[in-house]
Amino acid sequence: MTTTNSVLIQESGTPPISVDNSPVSAIQNPAVEGSFLSIWQKCLDRVRKKVPPQTFETWFAPIKAISVTDKNLFLQVPNKFFYDWVDSHYGALIEQTLKEITGDGLVAKYTIPIDEEQHIGEKIVPDVKRSPESATGTKAQTGLIEQGTRLNERYLFETFVEGGSNQFAKAAAMAVASAPGRTSFNPLVIYGGTGLGKTHLLQAIGNEALANQRVARVVYVSSDTFTLDFIAAIQKNKTADFSRHYRGVDMLLLDDIQFFQNKEQTQEQFFHIFNDLYQHHKQIVLTTDKPPLELRGLQERLLSRFQSSLTVDIQPPDLETRIAILQKKADDDHLDIPFEVIEFLSANIRSNVRELEGALIRLLAYSSLLRVDIDLGLTQKVLKEILGNRQASAVSIENIQSVVGSFFKINLDSLVGKRRTKEVAEARMIAIYLTREYTNLSLKTIGLYFGGRDHSTVVHACRYVEERLKIDSRFAEQLNGLRTKLGPSR
């Protein structure tokens, strides 16, 4: 859209901050009737009539009006990706609609939260109970800006999808939240790869402890922000204020401590803060991308404290957990996503939750832009663009059916239909067996792809092929030939 739009950075619960760090005035525009909320609501009402329902729910409903000045209407969007898409595809529509409503028109200015891990549909609503004053006791100055808890209220234990890969970590986190500083889990160190839910658990601890009034002062901070605040404090001769702020909390939640590597002064400052909190039985929770033993560039005395703590890991989620995560995401955002699409995404994206949810966002964007329903065909196209060459090993069920049908000269209708001739039945069982081998799809879903058969039919087909492989070398050669055509399995 326009070059007049700009992205501002806003911390949850604070006034928007402009690019030069000056607060944006929230004074109402006297020339415009009604509040900024009514202006934006009128805009939404008009836009709703001009775009498909799914487009509106995906790209307009999450936008929140937060203030207005003489010239600008400030709109908060969940994240940078969301802004880029709205600005490039619907910016002109928003600008024109605002002009229709206000005459000369207001210019839309966008803000995004400091936390870049927000997702589509999340709305950052200031929590009066957790203002900087109530959450920390005083307005904490660190040399940059006044800080509150920095917690994202959407990160709760209730919204964390539990599975075998993260069950122990969640249990430890809940124990800490229920009795901060009074368990042997101090400090608690949570480690795991990127996008697996460490930040979610970390902030859930703080939200839970505050909600149940088990602590009065909580601060969540990333290691990068901690370092930047410390540097700013040095530049402004406020290191005493910096130290006092962090030593005065009841719970310190520090994200990604691996980024402290080779930052000697920051490590020194953190070491003394850590010791002071620990001696006064204040809860400390840390996250990192690898076990403490594997961290390099950290002082030995810090490592020894990390190693003496309770260390829990989060592994990549299994298929069932990935499906549950996407289903919950769809339910929370009121999205109508076919189960077969969710299962297909979950079967092909296995690395981390962030990439999984990113694929869902991209799928919604395609559906909205092209004005088509979300189905397997669209999902496969989107997934191919996301994974690129990595998708070569993720063979689809349609690919398997096509290769098997071509090999045995049987059309798709016969392969998935009710015909029970020996040739068709055997080809069908081979296709089912290969689907089980090449995909993570459930028995029930595989049966649905083969004419709505139940899971017992899938089990029978797999056993039949396994028994034939033991006694029939020619049959084994055929199967290996099909595998060669399909490529490497998962």
Q: Report domain extents, the chain.
A: 7-113, 128-314, 319-388, 397-486
Number of DSSP helices (H) and strands (E) in the chain, helices first = 20, 9
The rounded mean pLDDT for the chain is 78
pTM value?
A: 0.54
- Which tokens sit at 195? 């996008």
Contact criterion met (CB below 8 Å) for 119 and 79:
yes
Predicted local confidence at residue 295, as pLDDT:
78
- Which tokens sit at 49? 């009539």
pLDDT tens per residue across span 121-174: 333 333 323 333 333 333 333 333 335 567 888 889 988 888 878 889 999 999
Contact criterion met (CB below 8 Å) for 490 and 439:
yes
pLDDT tens per residue across span 57-104: 878 888 988 888 777 888 888 877 678 778 777 888 898 888 888 876
Query: Phi/psi at 310 (nearest 5 deg)?
Result: -80, 120
pLDDT tens per residue across span 29-45: 444 445 778 888 999 99
CATH architecture type of domain 397-486: Orthogonal Bundle (1.10)
Band the pLDDT of 387: cuts 50, 70, 90.
Answer: low
Cβ neighbours of residue 58 under 8 Å, at least 6 residues apart?
Answer: 120, 335, 364, 365, 368
Predicted local confidence at residue 486, as pLDDT:
80
The conformation of residue 316, written as its DSSP 8-state character, comes to: P
Predicted local confidence at residue 161, as pLDDT:
85
pLDDT at 24 over 50: no
Contact criterion met (CB below 8 Å) for 449 and 397:
yes
Average pLDDT of 220-248?
87
The enclosing H or E element of 192 equals: strand 188-192
Most confident of 150-154, 251-255, 334-338: 251-255
Q: How would you classify the pairing of strands 107-113 and 7-10?
A: parallel
- Which tokens sit at 335? 């999205």
Band the pLDDT of 190: cuts 50, 70, 90.
Answer: very high
Average pLDDT of 268-278?
88
Predicted local confidence at residue 252, as pLDDT:
92
CA angle (238, 129, 134) in 5-degree steps:
30
Q: Domain spanning 319-388: which CATH class is it, in words? A: mainly alpha
- Kindly report the CATH number that applies to the domain delimited by 128-314: 3.40.50.300
Band the pLDDT of 206: cuts 50, 70, 90.
Answer: very high
- Kindly report the CATH number that applies to the domain delimited by 7-113: 3.30.300.180
Closest by alpha carbon to 440, among 356, 336, 367, 361? 356
pLDDT at 461 over 90: yes
For the chain, the farthest-separated pair of C-alpha atoms sits apart, in whole angstroms, at 87
Report the distance separating Cα 100 and Cα 45, nearest Å: 12
Contact criterion met (CB below 8 Å) for 167 and 318:
no
